[in-house]
C-alpha cells in the first residue's frame, strides 16, 4: 500500500536524474519554456493541474508554504527539485529571496565589468 505522498514522490523521482557531483535532483521532464524570467522551471501535471515540480516536491515532503515564504534554489539550478537538503531547494522569505536575486545580479554585473 502506498500513500498519496509516496505516489507523488515516486512520480517526481521517476523523471529525476541525480547529479553525483552537486547532489542536485535534475528534472528531466517538461519545463515552463525558455522565455522570460519564470522560464526553465520544471512543470508537471498533478491532479489535472500544471504545477511547479520543485514546489510540489517540497510541499509533499514538508507541507504547505505560507504566503510570505517562497522557495529558493540555493544551488542556483532551476531544474533542481531536491527538497531534503538546505543547499538545494529551501524555503525563504520573499524579502530574502529578492535580496539573493539582487546579490546574484550584482555579482554578474561585476563579472561583466571585468570582462568589458
- Residue 79 C-beta: closest distance to Zn ion, Å: 8
Question: In the complex with Zn ion, which residue's Cβ is closer, 16 or 80?
Answer: 80
- Residue 108 C-beta: closest distance to Zn ion, Å: 19
Name the site residues for Zn ion (rule: CB under 5 A): 24, 75, 77, 80, 88
Q: What is the pairing mode between strands 69-73 and 89-93? A: antiparallel
Residue closest to 58 by CA, chosen among 35, 33, 36, 41: 41
- Residue 11 C-beta: closest distance to Zn ion, Å: 19
Question: In the complex with Zn ion, which residue's Cβ is closer, 21 or 115?
Answer: 21
Are residues 41 and 35 in contact, defined by beta-carbon separation less than 8 angstroms?
no
What is d(CA 13, CA 111) in angstroms, rounded to the nearest whole number?
36
Question: In the complex with Zn ion, which residue's Cβ is closer, 2 or 59?
Answer: 59
Amino acid at each position: 500500500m502506498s500513500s498519496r505522498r509516496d505516489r507523488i514522490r515516486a512520480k517526481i523521482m521517476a523523471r529525476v536524474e541525480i547529479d553525483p557531483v552537486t547532489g542536485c535532483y535534475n528534472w528531466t521532464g517538461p519545463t515552463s519554456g525558455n522565455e522570460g524570467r519564470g522560464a526553465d522551471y520544471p512543470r508537471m501535471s498533478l491532479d489535472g493541474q500544471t504545477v511547479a515540480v520543485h514546489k510540489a516536491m517540497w510541499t509533499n515532503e514538508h507541507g504547505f508554504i505560507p504566503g510570505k515564504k517562497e522557495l529558493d534554489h540555493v544551488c542556483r539550478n532551476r531544474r533542481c527539485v531536491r527538497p531534503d537538503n538546505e543547499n538545494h531547494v529551501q524555503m525563504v522569505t520573499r524579502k530574502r529571496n529578492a535580496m539573493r536575486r539582487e546579490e546574484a545580479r550584482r555579482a554578474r554585473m561585476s563579472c561583466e565589468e571585468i570582462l568589458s
